Amino acid sequence: MSNAPLTPTAVSCPAKVLVAGGYLVLDRDHTGLVFGLNARIHTVVEPIKTRAGVSISEIVVTSPQFREAIWEYGYRLQGQDGGMTVTQLSVGHEQSISQSRNPFIETALTYALTYIYILQPNHLIKPSSIRILADQAYYSNPGTKRDQASRFADFNVRLKDAHKTGLGSSAALVTSFTAAVLSFYLSKDLFDLKSEKGLTVLHNLAQASHSHAQGKVGSGFDIASAVFGSCLYKRFSPSLLSALSQPSTPGFASELRSLIEGSTWDTVIEKAAIKMPKGLRLVMCDVDCGSETPGMVKKVLAWRSSSPEEAERIWKSLQEGNEALAAELTRLATEEEGDSAAKYDKLRQIISNNRNLIREMGEKSGVPIEPPQQTRLLDYCSKLDGVVGGVVPGAGGFDAIVLLVEDNERTVDALGTSLGQYKDEEAAGGRVGIIGVREEMVGVKEEDLNLYKEWEESS
């Protein structure tokens, strides 16, 4: 097994949108309704080309759609069961800008190589070249295609100058990166992306590294949807990760394996609890403003602590509303309803009730979860032909809305035209446009290497 040649591997993961359960999903007593989106981040891992007789311990990571996006890492085994240590190497020449660290890549590589070493301690981890490619919808920068058939645009800016659309790029990146590295270095009997055990290991490992990279905040719903696609999600106990030692410290490797493979992980992910009815789809709209999610979360949680009874009433009602939304979507997907105009009335009512509760939470906490500008925009959209309703997703704020609309070209085209004409006299600026995504029920998946042919020269 140790001498088996390593073969190029490619994996992709979807973006996400939290349609219901913002703030609730931070609490283990509640759930979030998360849809995967069909914008994907892809990771391709290949053996690095070295001269005969030359041995190196180096992994080169590139994001070739961006200028100067290259990270070169050395790796070595740490004593006292500390796992693998990853060090960013200096590349000299013109690449000084790329020496700014990327904590998500660096942490994902550290955790993945440590887990690989644990499973096959007597195997040499050979050098490799890793490319990361993202679909257009993650960025509002237009980009240019290298040819008509190309899936991936050349954004021609530095990564730090790219404008994200807020679809969960770090979670999709960490998950596809981890899945590709494990699939590349481990044989199918040790890690199989198509097995239930493989998906569980990937989920737990990606949660651990993503949480560490972003400072142990967040509920992890974005990693869950990157692995499993659309689902109803209940978070893991935060103590699971807060108890894990720091990478490279004594005992880290064994602790990581116990956590990743053990039975203590208490996330609840229900894929079967959510379906999209035939004839409906999600549409994401990008509002050209922005929100400070961490500050908003802090204020809402502070209000919840100071007014527990009031908050608990709203939390409980919202939980019931979220479950009702998932149940009604699934009912519509599994029962024949005919084509009566009233078939989406119950769905409209559930969405309207949930929005009322979200606005109440916002008023009581002093946080703009559904700000007046978004209320006016959602009310405007909800009156358009073929639009069932919509919400401000995730933690809310000013940067996006998500709509449930009838799945036909006429409805989506008319919606785009109406949004292009929309003006809010009371709001400062803020163009509204449709992001080119829809719901995606499938999570992580292996990809055909032919998809990346035009990017081979950039690696």
The whole-model pTM stands at 0.93
Query: Residue written as tokens 């198509």?
Result: 194
pLDDT, position 54: 54
Which pLDDT belongs to residue 429? 59
Domains of the chain as residue ranges with CATH: 9-272+441-458 (3.30.230.10), 280-436 (3.30.70.890)
54, amino acid identity: V
- What 8-state DSSP symbol labels residue 237? P
pLDDT digits (tens, 9 = 90+) for 151-195: 899 999 998 888 888 888 899 999 999 999 999 999 999 999 999
pLDDT tier for residue 454 given thresholds of 50, 70 and 90: confident
Secondary structure (3-state) at 385: coil
Tell me what percent of the residues of the chain surpass a pLDDT of 70: 91
- Asked whether the predicted pLDDT for residue 459 surpasses 50, the reply is no
Mean pLDDT of all residues in 2-14: 86
Contact 186, 222 (CB under 8 A): no
Cβ atoms of 387 and 404 within 8 Å: the answer is yes
The angle formed by the CA atoms of residues 136, 103 and 131, to the nearest 5 degrees, is: 45
Q: Is the pLDDT of residue 446 over 90?
A: yes
1: pLDDT strictly greater than 50? no
- Tens-digit pLDDT profile for residues 277-328: 999 999 999 886 655 666 888 899 999 999 999 999 999 999 999 999 999 9
Is there a contact between 450 and 17 (Cβ–Cβ < 8 Å)?
A: no
Q: Quote the distance between the C-alpha of residue 143 and its chain's center.
A: 21
